[in-house]
Amino acid sequence: MPNPRFPAILLLAILSGLVACQSELSREQADGPTASIQVNQLGYSPQAVKEATVPAGFGDTFELVEHNGGRTVYRGTLSAAERWPHSGEWVRRADFSDLTQPGHYRLRVPGLADSHPFPVAARAYSSLNDAAIKAYYFNRASTALDEAHAGVYARALGHPDEQVEIHRSAASAERPEGMALASPRGWYDAGDYNKYIVNSGISTYTLLAAYEHFPDYYQGRELNIPESGDVVPDLLNEVMWNLSWMLTMQDPNDGGVYHKLTTKRFSGKVMPENATAQRYFVQKGTAAALNFAAVMATASRVYADYEATFPGFSEISLAAAEAAWEWARSNPQVVYRNPEDIRTGEYGDEEFGDEFAWAAAELYLTTGKPAYWEALEPKVVTISVPNWADTQGLAWLSLAQHRGALPEAAQTLVAERVRSLGDALYNEWRTSAAGVPMRAEDFVWGSNGVAMNSAMMLIAAHRLTDDERYLGAAQSLVDYVLGRNPTGYSYVTGYGAHTPQNIHHRPSAADGIDAPVPGFLAGGPHSGQQDASDCPIPYPSDKPAKSYLDHWCSYASNEITINWNAPLVYVSGALEVLYGED
């Protein structure tokens, strides 16, 4: 019976609105997978902000039911329906932050399939964090992976890199074209087998920052890598594999750093031992020198505590950092571009103000020399979410960590910068229909890396202010990559109910094992779809957040890299510590 006090015209208006919303829904449902409830498939710490995303059009309330037993433990009201422009879908948010009772639950909305089961539990991300670090071990160059450490992913040694040639672009009087030098170890960059300084640098720094900011946590982890059991935390053992390679990329004659160690073309879809084409040192560049300087200065600080295991390393890495810095000061504008015979990843950057700031900050923090502080000019350095080409945010991250050692005026400036970025991301979170601080321009090649680097900067804002709002926004980004997104994938191989199976990663594609190597974060949706012409099947949608293909062909949405895994490590470890163990 219609309520007589309820004007018929209003009822009509509401109904037609609902019809409009429903037709929008069915159109969008045709444009991708069936609408489903999206949760963080690895779950939530008891004290965390807990949100799920629910398709609109199915009622106003939700329940959490026990996975085993089906008892309802929580009821809540969904937020109002809003359209998330990046997926084109109408969504509502379910907030169940005040459910703190540990358990395994499913989220239920009448008319929809229950969500994947997920835990509310302490240590929700510790095994993810271990795996995301172990992924670096799986990507080690110049070594066999034995069964004791790699299990079914054991493989033969590839890329000894004992005879790497100086390419014409890198030739000097002391090191002429064709001269062969050793440059072993390091991590493969990604799904390809080359080693690129700029990208290696940001990855290595981010892992060092994870350790430097949360040493107690990492001192307690055990990753089952060959060095496990020594006195050095496994994270630092793993990072040393790459640092020892990076040091070989510096020309001791002038302090300059080669941009990359690479084949002329990408190899086929083969295992490392079968990718045997000649490798080259290519041209030195300003970005490589500064990035190297920043990383070596950071490493010098961090490994000072492990002098007994790595005698002399702290001093050697600092000297290397200072030599690279000096080279960059004398060569401030050497842009790297691929020579015509080199077709592998370019990692080209033309703007070096951010690299100068980052290197100056790390050198200052390690040495305390006023000249580096003067070179830094903090007042003119702005802040942004870091990526391989934009590193100024890393300067602020390190300055925030060590702000107690800075002059007072600088402490205020650090707080202002870090908060301003945190506030922007926080506002994005709270005004986003889906409750995720991702903007249209964030759906680039490696958008999941953008998500994790944004979360890392939010964590910096939280650690500086103790303000929980920033941590909630960081959690939302972790939710996003672990399944609370419109593709329904938890984007980390092997971690979640529905995970990528066909990452663009040569060992995973060539090893004859169905499951991909675990612990790798796929690049994620890329609105540019820059690999579409190489793919035999179309992308499921043209919407940014749905521009993802779990297929080998999709190097622009489904490759993995060391630089996207690194902030995943940082953030998953940080949430373990910051949301505590209760």
Binding stretches for ligand 9MR (CB under 6 A): 190-192, 266, 345, 534, 555, 559
DSSP assignment letter at 155: B
349 contact, one of Ca ion, ligand 9MR, ligand G3I, none, CB 5-8 Å limit per kind = Ca ion
What whole-number distance in Å separates Cα of residue 248 and Cα of residue 355?
21
What whole-number distance in Å separates Cα of residue 260 and Cα of residue 183?
11
CA distances from 284 to 5, 180, 491 (A): 78, 16, 35
CA atoms within 13 A on the CB side of 259: 24
A 10 A CB-CB count for 511 gives 17
List the catalytic residue out of 63, 254, 531, 559: 559
Taking the complex as a whole, the smallest distance from the CB of residue 523 to ligand 9MR amounts, in Å, to 9
DSSP codes of every residue in 459-506: HHHHHHH--HHHHHHHHHHHHHHTT-STT----BTTBSSS--SS-B-H
What whole-number distance in Å separates Cα of residue 84 and Cα of residue 92?
10
350 contact, one of Ca ion, ligand G3I, ligand 9MR, none, CB 5-8 Å limit per kind = none
Annotation says 550 is catalytic: yes
What whole-number distance in Å separates Cα of residue 133 and Cα of residue 38?
26
What whole-number distance in Å separates Cα of residue 248 and Cα of residue 180?
13
List the catalytic residue out of 28, 89, 161, 192: 192
DSSP codes of every residue in 336-378: ----TT--S--------HHHHHHHHHHHHHHH--HHHHHHH-G
Taking the complex as a whole, the smallest distance from the CB of residue 348 to ligand G3I amounts, in Å, to 8
Taking the complex as a whole, the smallest distance from the CB of residue 559 to ligand G3I amounts, in Å, to 4
Pairing mode of beta strands 260-262, 195-196: antiparallel
List beta partners, residue 521. Answer: 492
List beta partners, residue 62. Answer: 76
Cα 138 → chain centroid: 17
Taking the complex as a whole, the smallest distance from the CB of residue 338 to ligand 9MR amounts, in Å, to 10
What character string, x for contact with ligand G3I (CB under 6 A) and - otherwise, covers 319-348? Answer: --------------------------xxx-
528 interacts with ligand G3I by CB under 6 A? yes
Taking the complex as a whole, the smallest distance from the CB of residue 564 to ligand G3I amounts, in Å, to 8
63 contact, one of Ca ion, ligand 9MR, ligand G3I, none, CB 5-8 Å limit per kind = none
Q: How many residues in the shown chain lie near ligand G3I by CB under 6 A?
A: 14
List the catalytic residue out of 259, 504, 505, 526: 504
List beta partners, residue 171. Answer: none
CA distances from 103 to 114, 479, 481 (A): 16, 18, 22
What whole-number distance in Å separates Cα of residue 568 and Cα of residue 338?
30
A 10 A CB-CB count for 31 gives 15
Q: Which residues of 392-430 are buried (b: 16+ CB within 10 A; e: fewer)?
A: bbbbbbbbbbbbeebeeebbebbeebbbebbbbbbebbe
268 interacts with ligand G3I by CB under 6 A? no
Q: Which is nearer to Ca ion, 449 or 544 (CB)?
A: 449
63 interacts with ligand G3I by CB under 6 A? no
Interactions with ligand G3I, residue window 541-570 (CB under 6 A)? 555, 559, 561
322 contact, one of ligand 9MR, ligand G3I, Ca ion, none, CB 5-8 Å limit per kind = none
Taking the complex as a whole, the smallest distance from the CB of residue 495 to ligand 9MR amounts, in Å, to 22
Annotation says 559 is catalytic: yes
446 contact, one of Ca ion, ligand G3I, ligand 9MR, none, CB 5-8 Å limit per kind = ligand G3I
Taking the complex as a whole, the smallest distance from the CB of residue 11 to Ca ion amounts, in Å, to 58
List the catalytic residue out of 63, 130, 355, 550: 550
Interactions with ligand G3I, residue window 347-386 (CB under 6 A)? 347
Q: Which is nearer to ligand G3I, 493 or 561 (CB)?
A: 561
Query: CB under 6 A: which stretch of 136-144, 188-196, 291-299, 333-341 binds ligand G3I?
Result: 188-196
Q: How many residues does the chain have?
A: 582
Compute the chain's Rg from CA coordinates.
25
Taking the complex as a whole, the smallest distance from the CB of residue 275 to Ca ion amounts, in Å, to 30
Query: CB under 6 A: which stretch of 29-37, 273-281, 312-320, 443-451 binds ligand G3I?
Result: 443-451
Taking the complex as a whole, the smallest distance from the CB of residue 441 to ligand G3I amounts, in Å, to 9
528 contact, one of Ca ion, ligand 9MR, ligand G3I, none, CB 5-8 Å limit per kind = ligand G3I
Site for ligand G3I (CB under 6 A): which residue of 190, 223, 289, 399? 190
Query: CB under 6 A: which stretch of 185-193, 311-319, 373-381, 405-413 binds ligand G3I?
Result: 185-193
470 contact, one of Ca ion, ligand 9MR, ligand G3I, none, CB 5-8 Å limit per kind = none
55 contact, one of Ca ion, ligand 9MR, ligand G3I, none, CB 5-8 Å limit per kind = none
Applying CB under 5 A, the residues found at the interface with Ca ion are 349, 351, 354, 389
Tokens 């390690």 sit on residue: 366
What whole-number distance in Å separates Cα of residue 100 and Cα of residue 98?
6
Contact 179, 258 (CB under 8 A): no
The residues that are catalytic are: 192, 504, 550, 559
Instruction: List residues near ligand G3I by CB under 6 A.
Output: 189-190, 192, 345-347, 444-446, 528, 530, 555, 559, 561
